[in-house]
Amino acid sequence: MSDPMDDPKRTPAGQAGRGARPGVDEDIEEPPAVQPPGDAVGGGEEPPAGAAPAEAGTDYKERWLRAEAELQNFRRRASREWEEGRRMAEEGVLLEMVGVLDDLERALTAADPAAAGASWTQGVALVAQRIRDVLARQGVTVEDPLGRPFDPVFHEALLELDAPDGAAPGSVLQVVHKGYRRGARALRAARVVVARAATGEAP
C-alpha cells in the first residue's frame, strides 16, 4: 500500500507558497514594449544633419536685415521731423520780427515830414534797419510782386480788377500788404490786387 505523502501529484499547502502558483502565474503576461514617439511617427527617421542650423541661420539673417532697415528708416524719419520742427520754430520767431518791422515802418510813414530829422524818428529808423539786417542774415527777403504774374505760392489775391492799359491779365496791380520769403518757401504771402481780362475781351 503506497503512502499518500509519496504521491508527486499532491503538493502540500506549505509548499504551494514556495513554488509557482497554479492558475495565477500562467495567466499574467508582460506588458508590451512602449514604442518611442519618434519611431511611431515618421518611421523614426531623423532630419539630415546640418539642415536645421542652416535654416535657423537664414531666418536670423533675414530678421537682422529687416531690423537694420527699420532702424535706418526710423533715423531718417526722426531727422526729418527734427529739421521740420526746427524750421517751424525759426519761422515763428522770424514772423514775429516781421510783424514788429511792419509796425516800425508804419510809424515812420505816419511821422510828420517836418520831424524827419528828429532824434526819435532816427532811432525808429535805426531799429527798423537792424531788424532788416537780422532777417537778411536768416535768408529772409522781401517779396515784391508788383507787375509780375500772380503766384499762388507767394501771393494772396484780395481783389481782381479789370486790367488797365499796359497791364497783362493775371499780373499784380497793387501790393496791399508786403510779403516775405525764405529761400524757396513763403514766410508770409503778399496780399495783392490782381488784374483780370476786361469784360467782353478774350482772356
Q: What pLDDT score was predicted for residue 12?
A: 46
Say how many C-beta atoms besides its own lie within 10 A of residue 55's C-beta. Answer: 11
Q: What pLDDT score was predicted for residue 197?
A: 82
Quick one: 132 exposed, middle or buried, by C-beta within 10 A (0-12, 13-18, 19+)?
middle
115-119, 121-125, 185-189, 197-201: least confident range: 197-201
Q: What pLDDT score was predicted for residue 119?
A: 83
b/e code 13-40 from CB counts within 10 Å (16+ = b): eeeeeeeeeeeeeeeeeeeeeeeeeeee
Nearest to 109 by CA among 127, 129, 124: 124
Quick one: 97 exposed, middle or buried, by C-beta within 10 A (0-12, 13-18, 19+)?
middle
Q: Residues 89-99: what's their mean pLDDT?
A: 93
Question: Average pLDDT of the chain?
Answer: 78
Residue found by looking up cell 516800425 in the block: 104
Residue 51 has pLDDT above 80, yes or no: no
Q: Residues 74-80: what's their mean pLDDT?
A: 93
First to last CA, the chain: 154
Residue 68 has pLDDT above 70, yes or no: yes
Residues of the chain with pLDDT > 90, as a percent, come to: 43
Q: Report the C-alpha gap between 63 and 67 in whole angstroms.
A: 6
